[in-house]
Every structure is written in C-alpha cells, then in structure tokens.
C-alpha cells in the first residue's frame, strides 16, 4: 500500500491502481471521514458504511485475484 500511495502522490494513477487497487476506495473513505469532522451530512452514517463495504470488498477481491494468479 505504501508504494501505491507513493505512486499516487507522484501522479502515476494507473500504476498505483495496479500496485494496490484498494488505494482509491481507501483515499475516498479517508477524505470522507476527515470532511465529516467539519461538515455534518444527513446520511453520513450510510455513506460511511457504504464506503467501508466498498473498501473491504476491493481489498478482499484484489487479494483473492493476486493469490489466484500466484498459484496458476
């Protein structure tokens, strides 16, 4: 994940995604959580839950796909 964030900060968005696909949902979740400290949204709980599900799902799917490609 650290390399993906480094690539992201250097503007190499495609390589960051290839390195760790969950980097984008994690960034979105962190941005939302930080912005939620200052702005109170009506459906903040539902948005946070959805972003957490997307992040967890992306992490699990990318892990399964990488492990599958290692053993094939």
8 assigned to some structural domain: no
Please tell me the predicted confidence (pLDDT) of residue 44. Answer: 93
Q: pLDDT by residue (tens digit) across 3-17?
A: 999 999 999 999 999
- What's residue 72's pLDDT? 63
56 located within any domain? yes
pTM surpassing 0.85?
no
DSSP string spanning the chain? -HHHHHHHHTT-HHHHHHH-TTHHHHHHHHHHHHHHHHS--TTHHHHHHHHHHHHHHHHHHHHHHHHHHHH-
Q: In this predicted model, what pLDDT tens digit does every residue of 32-69 receive, in sequence order?
A: 999 999 998 899 999 999 999 999 999 999 999 988 88
Residue 66 lies in a domain: yes
Domain count of the chain? 1
Find tokens 């539902």 and name the residue. Answer: 46
pLDDT on residue 12? 94
């Amino acid at each position: 994940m650290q390399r993906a964030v480094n690539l992201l900060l250097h503007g190499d968005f495609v390589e960051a995604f290839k390195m760790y696909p969950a980097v984008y949902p994690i960034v979105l979740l962190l941005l939302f959580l930080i912005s939620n400290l200052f702005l109170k949204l009506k459906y903040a709980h539902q948005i946070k839950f959805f972003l957490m599900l997307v992040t967890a799902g992306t992490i699990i799917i990318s892990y399964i796909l990488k492990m599958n490609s290692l053993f094939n």
